[in-house]
Amino acid sequence: MKGLLTKDLLILKQQAKTAVFILLCGIMMSFTFEKTMVIGYITIIGTMLAFSTIGYDEFDNGYSFIFTLPVSRRTYVREKYALALGCAFSMAVLGGIIALVMMLADGTQHAFEETLISSGSMIAVAILFISFMIPVRIKYNAEKGRVIMYILYAAVLVAGFAGSKLISMLGIDMHAFISKLDAMNPWVILCILAIAVLILLAVSEQYTEHVISKKEY
């Protein structure tokens, strides 16, 4: 796994200018919107950069070469998850530091707690993103994978719209539900969210191992 990580980190190093540009965009957006916005922005974009290494591996029958090396398919899959998680975590920490400095400079109250909760929430969102993206990218090529993701995005939007309509038809009071959530300790909500996404991540990783074991390169 160490060799695969080294390879992918060198690939990411070539995208350093893009990463710096993304970081600057995130900082500028934070001056206009919420200070914590930089956390979510660079966390998701940083995670997407990690996915780009799969495209490099696919290029010019790269998989055929990689799997002639002493690297198992299971190790390859686990390395991709480790890389994506590492990028998500490091970007969330970096974004959190930037947001914290900006909030402290503005004299924001509870800046440290707000930064921790925002960073933790974005790591959870990134894990959810990773759990869906890696299986899709491994199972399909870049073009098909992109189409599948667009379909998934559309399905989420349709489900959200249909859900809101159904809630309205059934007369469910969402304001009361949201008030109950607001009354809960945010750390409890974050812990529940963390457990849920970690279970999803484990299922995703096992599924991806199954997918790649069936593929021929």
**211, 139 Cβ separation under 8 angstroms:** yes
99 lies in some domain? yes
151 lies in some domain? no
Write down the H helix ranges in the chain: 2-13, 16-32, 37-58, 62-66, 73-106, 111-139, 142-170, 174-183, 186-214
Cα gap 103→113, rounded to integer Å: 11
Does the predicted model carry a pTM greater than 0.75? Answer: yes
**CA atoms within a 13 Å half-sphere pointing along the CA-CB vector of 59:** 5
152 lies in some domain? no
150 lies in some domain? no
Which pLDDT score is estimated for 217? Answer: 66
135 lies in some domain? yes
Low-confidence ranges of the chain (pLDDT < 50): none
98 lies in some domain? yes
Q: Among residues 69, 18, 70, which one has the least CA distance to residue 48?
A: 18
Give the domain range for residue 183: 2-139+173-214
Which pLDDT score is estimated for 207? Answer: 93
What are the pLDDT digits (tens) for 145-166? Answer: 667 767 776 776 777 667 666 6
28 lies in some domain? yes
Cα gap 18→135, rounded to integer Å: 25
Which pLDDT score is estimated for 183? Answer: 65
Q: Is 150 exposed, middle or buried (0-12, 13-18, 19+ CB in 10 A)?
A: exposed
User: How many domains are contained in the chain?
Assistant: 1
**74, 82 Cβ separation under 8 angstroms:** no
53 lies in some domain? yes
